[in-house]
Each structure stands twice: as structure tokens, then as C-alpha cells.
Amino acid sequence: MDPTRLGGIDPQVITHHLNIDPNCKPIKQKKRHFGPEKDKIIQAEVNKLMAAGHIEEIQFPEWLSNVVLVPKPGGKWRMCIDFRDLNKACPKDFYPLPRIDQLVDSTSGCELLSMMDASQGYHQIMLAPEDRKKVSFITSEGTFCYVAMPFGLKNAGATYQRLVDKIFYPQIGRNIEVYVDDMLVKSKKAADHVKDLEETFSVLRKYKLKLNPAKCAFGVQGVASWDSW
């Protein structure tokens, strides 16, 4: 599978690896049962993930987790995976995340800001091939494993922060701040903002990192807090 066909990051740049404690025995969760309507919701999401290349069917998974449906506003459902057993077996990655208050303070005095959110951010990073059988889940239709890094997996945030710290290193603190899959381009002078955005988009294109336009805001004059947008 081509990891870049939907804008995924080249595995040579970064790949997510699991560091499972060798003393932990693999756990295969007993399948959780859902009613027909929820089964349809799950299957639709599985089909979407399959079409996007984020998951694939699997035989003989090493670990096996259940699907969880989480209610969303408006009566819809979000499909998540119960990775609790797998996460317990993985030591914490202590890679540092930025402090939100410091990121907010760093925008003081900036005339223009632009906030950007990565499209399906975690899914743009590939899982190490040897770890995919461990990141597996079960539905009424069969067993599947993630090819891309899923949300809810322990240490996924640390891996993503490593990526953005690496690719935006020349800009961080100067004209951009990054917190996992959220990016904030800042300009002391409004006249410099287009140039700062051009520099940022050049990096995004180079690494094929896609954005979610619905969660982006450009040319904002000040922001109350990092997550206010």
C-alpha cells in the first residue's frame, strides 16, 4: 500500500512503533454485541476506513480490541476502538508536549494569526508493519487491523508531536506554534502574514500533510485561547 496516496507521511520521515512490555501476554477481547442499527453504523465506518486505506482485513491478530460507539452531537455516533488492554501493555512515551499557556502567550503582540487543523491527523502517520497485527479490532463482519496510526492509541500524540517538531523546526517560535495536529501561524506584522503562510504551506506540501479546511481560520486578529477556534 502506498502510504502517501491520501497525503500520508512518508514512513522514512516517521512511523509509529509500539513498545509492548514483553512480560505482557496478548489479550483478545470477547466480541461485544450491538443491535442491527449500530452494526450498520459500524460497518459503514469500517467500509470508509477500508476505502481510505487506513485499515485492512486480518487473520490471526495478536491482540484484539472491541469497537465502542460514542454519541456525538446531533444524534450521530463516533466509532472508537477500546485499546485499553493494549495501552496498559505499552510504557508511556515521555516525549514532551508544549504547554498550552506558553503557546497562547507566544501570540501576544501578533497582528495576524491563522489556525490550521490536520485532516484526520493521526491517520496520516503509518504504523510499523510489524505492529499492525497488534492494533486489531473485531466487528460482526470480521477482524481488521490498522495500517495507519489510530486515535486512542497510547503514545500516538507523542509520535505526532515528534513529527511536527521535526518538520517545522526552523519556524517554531518564530512564525508558527504546533500542538500535535493543531498549527498556529503567527505574524508580528500583518504585512508578513502571507509570507509566513507561504513558508508553512511549503512544508505541508513537502511532507504531504493535508489540512481540514472546515477547521481552519486564516487572518484572524487575536485569539482568546489555543482551542477557542
Q: Is 36 exposed, middle or buried (0-12, 13-18, 19+ CB in 10 A)?
A: exposed
In the chain, the domains with their CATH numbers are: 36-220 (3.10.10.10)
- Is the pTM higher than 0.85? The answer reads yes
Residue type at position 79: M
Between β-strands 136-139 and 142-146, what pairing exists: parallel, antiparallel or unpaired? antiparallel
Percent of the residues in the chain that have a pLDDT greater than 90, as a whole number: 79
DSSP string, 191-227: GGHHHHHHHHHHHHHHHT--B-GGG-EEEES--SSTT
Helical spans, DSSP H, in 53-118: 84-88, 100-105
Looking up cell 460514542, which residue turns up? Answer: 70
User: Could you read off the pLDDT of 182-226 as tens digits, one per residue?
Assistant: 999 999 999 999 999 999 999 999 999 999 898 899 999 866 455
